[in-house]
Structure 1
Amino acid sequence: MVSLLKHPVYGPLFAAQLVALTGTGLMTIALGLLAYDLAGPHAGAVLGTAYAIKMLAYVGLSPIVQAFTERLPRKAVLVGADIIRAAVALCLPFVETVGQVYLLIFVLQAASASFTPTFQALIPDVLPDEEDYTKALTLSRLAYELENLLSPAIAGLLLLVISFSGLFVGTVIGFGVSALLVIRTPLPARPRREKPGPFWRRVTRGGRIYLATPRLRGLLALNLSAAAIGAFVLVNTVVVVRATYDLPAPYLALAMGAFGLGAMCAALILPVLLRQAGDRIVMLAAACGMVGVSLALGLFTALFGWPAWHLMLAVWLGLGACYSGVITPAGRLIRRSAHNTDRPAVFTAQFALSHLCWLITYPLAGWGGRGLGQSTTLILLGLIAAGALWAAGRLWPAGQDRAPEHDHSDLPPDHPHLKAHPMSDHGHRHRLIIDEIHPHWPR
């Protein structure tokens, strides 16, 4: 895995991702302090609205932005997005109203809706070998979890010597360094489509491919399962730690660190598990573990109260490991489910649809925890995750890598596809990807 960091293209791209994530982590903390400075005790409502705007931008704008930018060079898209995000971070210390915060967050997340899917679709072209790509997914997961662990620590040290507005400068530096690293890195050319098609078809192409592919329909259900449990952890851990256990703020970092540590440990062993068992078994097993642990904890707390603190940390460690087992392999499924010309659109569909799941589960976790109590909310979200897991198993049957036998009566006998895959009396079978020749999955 370390050898990947020496790759002349992937190494700088990973470094760009890491510094941008660090800058984003600093901004998250600074944004919370800015909200309190502007709204006082209503800061939670401000942040909740800001994060809802973030999700709406991801869900609604990412397919449109991708369609607008798909003909632009990848380097221009990535660097442009970083420059816009740096400019927004530079403006945030000078805002005077909550409305200005909402506007700037919308612009920033619109830029992220362009950057992230483009970056994700680029990596399979940089690392065409599946084993190398799997290791890259592991490194990406480690980067996200390290950001969750290190950014609060870095912010805490900086706040000893500067005001919270100075953290936004760190965000600007993070995005600026990311842009410089991308500028200096030679990127592979974007694959070109011979017939791009009308704009609206370009907007919806990724979603059509995604929803027509069984393994990706299963992935969508697994995204909902992971979001249900992940939302409870991210939204309600602070309430559990401070109100239920009556512990000071540093223990919140310990609880979230346990979740992150579990995710990192799982990410490190995933390349071996995926090679031996395959994506479907690993992802469904991880989701099953996540559902079982969350429902067991919810029932236990409803009957007997919350367990001892060290047991709660162990549960969060296990949930983090299972969460990583569900989320990390997603890129592998997308990589083998789309031609390289369609990958940006399909990665964008995954980006939008997965955040739609979070848009549903975040309010359920927050409002449910307040109105129904933590135990009932955890059981409710666990049942949603269980239903999504059942749907994933049905939508993604075993053995779907090869399609059922099918024919192409609409193609001429000398078509290149029929030459590559000769027809028998009953049709033919091959590894299938949804495209112009196969607009639907054969039944």
Structure 2
Amino acid sequence: MLSVLRNRTYRHLLAAQIVALTGTGLATVALGLLAFELAGDAAGLVLGTAMTIKMVAYVTVAPLAAAFAERLDRRKMLVVLDLIRAAVALCLPFVTEVWQVYVLIFVLQSASAGFTPAFQATIPDVLTDEREYTRALSLSRMAYELESLLSPVFAAALLLLVSFNSLFWGTALGFVASALLVVSVALPSPKPSKPRGIYERTTRGIRIYSNTPRLRGLLALSWSAAALSSMVIVNTVVIVRSDLGLSESAVAAALAGFGGGSMLAAFILPRMLDRIEDRKVMLAGALLCCTTMAGAAAIFATTPLSLGLLIVMWALAGFGYSTTLTPSGRLLTRSAHPEDRPAVFAAQFTLSHCCWLVLYPLAGGLMTLFGATTALSFMAAMSFLGIIGAVTLWPRSDLHSVIHDHPDLPRDHPHMSGPPPHAHPVIIDDLHPRIPREP
């Protein structure tokens, strides 16, 4: 897997991702402490509102950012967005009112909504070999999980030496380091074949996404995975502290089980995907998510739950979650031409966060009103609906050549070159606004 690090450009991009994630992890801890300082017992409401603002920014800004991304130099855009994020982090220690937190969080997450899809779309342009790109996806997933495990520990160590406001300086340093690493390499910046209006550029990613069967299936699987992750992220602390009556360290242990399972899946996925098609692997991962939640609901309803058993279940859930979503970059890359990839990655970013925007409050509300058994059962049902949708929307043979015609094109058009019948795997573009039906 580490052989992909021989590529200097990718090595710098991975390092940029790691330092930016570390900075983000420090900001997560510092933001919670800042909310408590400003709002006291109402800190939970402040953080909940901040998370909602984050999701709204992701859902609304990503398509707009993608519309401008195709006209901008990719490297300059990423550097500017990193510097905006650093500037916001530097402002956070000086806020004195809750509304200021909300404004800064919106600016910060809007910059992230522009940065993340464009960054993700750059990797397949750098690593054009699919085997290498698959390994890069696994390394990226492992970086995310390591950040979630290590950043709180790192923040706790720093808090022994400095005040929580100083953590925001570490966040800014992470974003500046990310910008320096991005600017140190040359990045491809594919341009569209013809100029397009702002409306077409804004909606292009969603239109390509919605007209591609495998991506409709990916959205269904994103819903399935979001049902699981919402339950884990929102309710683990309630299950451990209230239902099991254990300490805060037990919460960390349970979440570490989820992260460990996810990292294990990321480690073995490259070899698995070399032998087994993406559809089977991703559906198997979603099914593991669903059955794990259903099994957890059954255990809650019938037998006392222990921390060890919860860690095992969360590890299985993390394995299924990573198996479901890590290959998604391969599907997005196959489904768009290089100049359209930022728009398609932005569409996935927007639509997947729409799933979380619905399922986060649903998971929390069900847990509060009806308890763990009902919440787990309902979210397992939501996950199963996603699996049914994926099986229905994503055909088994979606990479085969499709025999079709272009009656609006002259016979000497470059696209029509070659002997009849005209056939090739179809990517949604100006010549193929939807998947043609074979005669």
TM-score, normalization by structure 1: 0.97
Q: How far apart are residue 240 of structure 1 and its match?
A: 0.7
What's the offset of the Cα at 1:57?
A: 0.5
Match of 2:388 in 1: 390
In the alignment, which residue of structure 2 is the partner of 1:308? 306
What count of residue pairs does the alignment treat as equivalent?
Answer: 437
Kindly provide the amino acid, as one letter, of the partner of residue 281 in structure 2.
Answer: V
2:414 is matched with which residue: 397, 409, 416?
Answer: 416
Equivalents in 2 of 1:306, 1:130: separation in Å?
46
Q: Does the 8 Å contact 1:407/1:423 carry over to 2?
A: no
The corresponding residue for 1:109 is 109
Q: Deviations over 1:392-418 (max 9, x none)?
A: 000001001125432222211111111
2:325 paired with 1:327: yes
Choose which of 427, 436, 441 in structure 1 pairs with 2:435: 441
Match of residue 374, structure 1, among 369, 372, 375: 372
Instruction: Give the Cα separation in 2 of the matches to 1:67 and 1:305.
Output: 53
Contact 2:55–2:353 (CA under 8 A) maintained in structure 1: yes
Where in structure 2 are the equivalents of 1:208-219 lying within 5 Å?
Answer: 208-219=207-218
Alignment of 1:20-419 (within 5 A): 20-188=20-188, 190-302=189-301, 304-402=302-400, 404-419=402-417
Q: Which stretch has the larger CA shift, 27-36 or 67-76?
A: 67-76
State the 1:237 CA deviation: 0.3
**Which string of whole-angstrom CA distances, capped at 9 and with x for unpartnered residues, describes residues 247-294 of structure 1?**
111111111111000000000100111111110000001101111111
- 1:370 Cα deviation (Å)? 0.7
RMSD: 1.1
Distance between the aligned counterparts of 1:423 and 1:208, measured in 2?
A: 29
Superposed CA offset, 1:235-254 (max 9, x none): 00011111111111111111
**Secondary structure at the residue paired with 2:60?**
helix
Aligned partners of 1:402 and 1:429 also within 8 Å: no
Q: Deviations over 1:184-216 (max 9, x none)?
A: 11222x111131211100000000000100000
2:16 match: 16
Letter in 1 for 2:420: M
Change (3 A) 1:114 1:301: same
Aligned-residue offset at 1:164: 0.8
Mean alpha-carbon deviation: is it higher for 290-299 or for 130-139? Answer: 290-299
Instruction: For residues 329-363 of structure 1, give each alpha carbon's deviation from its aligned partner in whole angstroms, at most 9, with x where no partner exists.
Output: 00000011100111111011011111111101111
The alignment partner of 1:9 has SS state of: helix
Identity %: 54
Deviations 1:367-395 (A, max 9, x none): 11111212101111110110111000000
Q: Using the alignment, how far apart are the partners of 1:25 and 1:210 within structure 2? A: 31
Kept after mapping to 2: 8 A contact 1:131/1:271: yes
Partners in 1 of 2:66 and 2:334 — Cα distance? 20
Corresponding letter in the other structure for 1:441:
I
- Contact 1:403-1:441 at 8 Å conserved across structures: no
Deviation at 1:305, TM superposition (A): 4.5
Q: How many Å separate the matches in 2 of 1:49 and 1:257? A: 26
Aligned mates of 1:382, 1:306 — CA distance in 2: 20
Secondary structure of the residue aligned to 2:338 is coil
Deviations 1:10-31 (A, max 9, x none): 0011000000000000000100
The amino acid of 2:374's aligned partner reads T
